[in-house]
Amino acid sequence: MNDSKQIRWRRWYLLPAIPLLLVVLLGGAYLLLDNWLESAGGRDALAQELGQRIGMPVSLEGDFNVMLWPSVGASGDRLLIMPGEQQGPFLLANGYQVSIALRPLLEKRLVIESLSLQGGELSPQRYQRPEAGAERNTEIDLPEIDRLEIRDFQLLFQGEQDTRLAVKRFELTGFASGQTAPYSLQIDSLA
Model pLDDT for residues 129-169, shown as the tens digit of each residue: 655 445 555 555 566 778 889 999 999 887 778 888 999 99
Q: How far apart are CA 63 and CA 60, in angstroms?
A: 9
Determine contact, residues 165/187, Cβ cutoff 8 Å. Answer: yes
Q: How many angstroms separate the Cα of 2 from the Cα of each of 39, 54, 165?
A: 54, 67, 79
Q: How far apart are CA 82 and CA 10, in angstroms?
A: 61
Rounded to the nearest angstrom, the gap between the alpha carbon of residue 22 and the centroid of all alpha carbons in its chain is 28
- CA-nearest of 109, 39, 115, 31 to 73 is 115
- CA-nearest of 162, 180, 74 to 123 is 162
Q: Which of the two residues, 177 and 191, has the higher pLDDT score?
A: 177
pLDDT of amino acid 13 = 67
Residue 173: strand, helix, or coil: strand
* pTM assigned to the model: 0.72
Q: How far apart are CA 24 and CA 18, in angstroms?
A: 10
Q: How far apart are CA 170 and CA 122, in angstroms?
A: 12
Residue 91's CB is within 10 A of a number of other CB atoms, namely: 22
| 56 contact partners, CB below 8 Å, separation of at least 6 | 81, 82, 83, 90, 127, 128, 129, 130
Model pLDDT for residues 60-97, shown as the tens digit of each residue: 888 888 777 777 888 899 999 988 765 788 899 999 99
Determine contact, residues 119/62, Cβ cutoff 8 Å. Answer: no
Residue 187's CB is within 10 A of a number of other CB atoms, namely: 12
Q: Averaged over 5-29, what is the pLDDT? A: 71
